[in-house]
Amino acid sequence: MALILKGAVKLYHYLNYDIAEVTTKDWPLMRTPWPGLLLIAIYLMTVCRWLPDYMKDRPAYDLRKTIVLYNIFQIICCVYVLYQSLKLGWLTRYRIVCEPVGDGPESLDYAWKVCYAYFIIKVIDLLDTVFFVLRKKQNQVSFLHVYHHFGMVAVAWGMVKWVPGGHMTLLVPINSFVHIIMYTYYLLTVWDESYKRSLWWKKYVTQVQILQFTLLLLHFSALVVAKDCSIPRQPAYILIPQNLFMFLLFSEFYYKTYIKKKNTKSI
């Protein structure tokens, strides 16, 4: 047991200090994983237990105006991060495969304006679930929804902690672009309920999400098979199964929602 504990402490020190990115290690919530883990734990308890219990005998809140403002705010934030990621990296100096984290003023700007800003956006994204519960739409608080939200907080935190730039961060512009589409759809449907029936592109939002995970799966896999690549491959070993899992979950959702139901209705 003592040997196991000693090994665990050594691994923790290695991950948290030895290989952590020096430029970001003292940023808020970045010094250790414990504040982030506490945040995720509070989120899970809030949306899965505390808030549903609170809402059990209460009427649903009308949050339409709040959610309209929230969606506009999210769209603006995603546009900003998408713009910065292209301006500071992916349309200027980044190559598509084996791009290292780098150093210097531009790399610091990228870490702060792209990676850390993206992490904060993922934390704010957790409000999506809170709004569902307060509106008594508990059916939308699915395993896919909850896992995706807290999983993206963890992924974004790890990116800032270990690789705030380079190859792995293609996730940021792709995911931000997808969220611009997604939050625009949400904004329209909350603004006018009739849009839920008239917007023909509803199912294509899910298709774009599936395409996102496919592209990222290929991009992370390229790091594993690339020769003469000087950057660490370990992040890819984590993100490949994560993206594969999300691809499978979203594909299952798409099948049940848009294919299975359609076939059932046609019988």
Query: How much is the average pLDDT of 79-102?
Result: 92
The whole-model pTM stands at 0.91
Identify whether 146 is part of a domain.
yes
In the chain, how many domains are there?
1
Identify whether 27 is part of a domain.
no
Q: If you average pLDDT over every residue of the chain, what do you get? A: 88
Q: Residue 21: what pLDDT?
A: 86
Q: For 53-57, 82-86, 215-219, 262-266, which range has the lowest pLDDT when averaged over its residues?
A: 262-266
Kindly report, residue by residue over 180-237, the tens digit of the pLDDT.
Answer: 999 998 888 887 766 666 566 678 888 899 999 999 999 999 988 888 888 888 888 8
Query: How much is the average pLDDT of 127-131?
Result: 96
Identify whether 43 is part of a domain.
no
Q: CA Rg, the chain, in Å? A: 20
264: tokens are 């059932």
Report the distance separating Cα 157 and Cα 234, nearest Å. 16
Identify whether 75 is part of a domain.
yes
Reduce the DSSP state of residue 98 to 3 states and report it: coil
Dihedral through CA 24, CA 28, CA 33, CA 35, nearest 10? 180
Kindly report, residue by residue over 103-113, the tens digit of the pLDDT.
Answer: 777 889 999 99
Residue 66, amino acid: T
Reduce the DSSP state of residue 254 to 3 states and report it: helix
Identify whether 17 is part of a domain.
no
The residue among 90, 119, 149 whose CA lies nearest residue 21 is 119
Asked whether residue 86 carries a pLDDT value surpassing 80, the answer given is yes
Report the distance separating Cα 34 and Cα 12, nearest Å. 12
Domain that holds residue 92: 62-262
Q: What residue has token string 């798409």?
A: 254
Query: How much is the average pLDDT of 43-70?
Result: 94
Identify whether 57 is part of a domain.
no
Identify whether 36 is part of a domain.
no
Share of the chain above pLDDT 70, in %: 93
CB 145 within 8 A of CB 250: no
Q: Residue 18: what pLDDT?
A: 73
Identify whether 15 is part of a domain.
no
Residues 6+ apart with CB under 8 A from 83: none
Catalytic (active site) residue 179: no
Active-site residue, selected from the candidate residues 13, 145, 148, 167: 148
